Amino acid sequence: MSPSLTRKITRRVPLALAAISVLAVAAAVASQQWFDMRPCPWCILQRIIFLAIAVLCLLTAFVPSRRMRIGLNLATFAFAVSGVVAATYQHVVAAKLFSCNLTFADRVITALGVELVWPLLFQVTATCAEAAVTVLGVPFEFYSLTLFALIALVAMALALHSVRVRTG
């Protein structure tokens, strides 16, 4: 593979993942504002994970070191897997609970203080049971679960690509 093509892959793919992650959060906020789909703590935690992935992917796209790209891709993979776990937990456990108060997601949001920094994006306005909605017959959290899984696969592929190709 030519060095030019490798540089394009190592820059464009992470930029695409960052854009997808930001668009996922934008879609969640739009759903919240226009369709009254109020978020629970697990929804907000997934927004935080998507934004962390976006930051990691932006760093990955512009860092010159191959070793740093590998590390950032592995961190992106880890965050994406944590997103899969959060979405799965939301569907299997949290959606059946009346209250998400003092759950792991609630504690993370409180510890980070994001609700105070940007309430529109991070304010919890529903219980887990209230936030259990479907869109086109599919539970809403399955959309984020699918995106997290795809991001995890691509991040791992990028990490393996960076291991195999010695550029930068």
Q: 8, 100 in Cβ contact below 8 A?
A: no
Considering the chain, what is the average pLDDT of its residues?
89
The confidence score (pLDDT) of residue 168 equals 43
Structure tokens at 35: 């369709």
Put simply, whether the predicted model's pTM sits higher than 0.75 gets the answer yes
The confidence score (pLDDT) of residue 1 equals 54
Band (pLDDT 50/70/90 cuts) for residue 81 is: very high
- Residue 48: pLDDT above 60? yes
Q: What percent of the chain has pLDDT over 70?
A: 91
Q: pLDDT digits over 120-129, tens only?
A: 899 988 887 7
The confidence score (pLDDT) of residue 167 equals 47
**Residue 34, amino acid:** W
Q: Would you say the C-alpha torsion 134, 115, 55, 88 has a positive or negative sign?
A: negative
Structure tokens at 155: 């991040």
Interior/surface letters 50-78, b for 16+ CB within 10 angstroms, e for the rest: bbbbbebbbbbbebeebeebbbbbbbbbe
CA angle centred on 94, ends 91 and 100, rounded to 5°: 150
Q: What percent of the chain has pLDDT over 90?
A: 60
For residue 96, give the nearest of 125, 127, 129, 124 by alpha carbon.
129
Q: What domains can be seen in the chain, in order of their start residue?
A: 3-164 (1.20.1550)
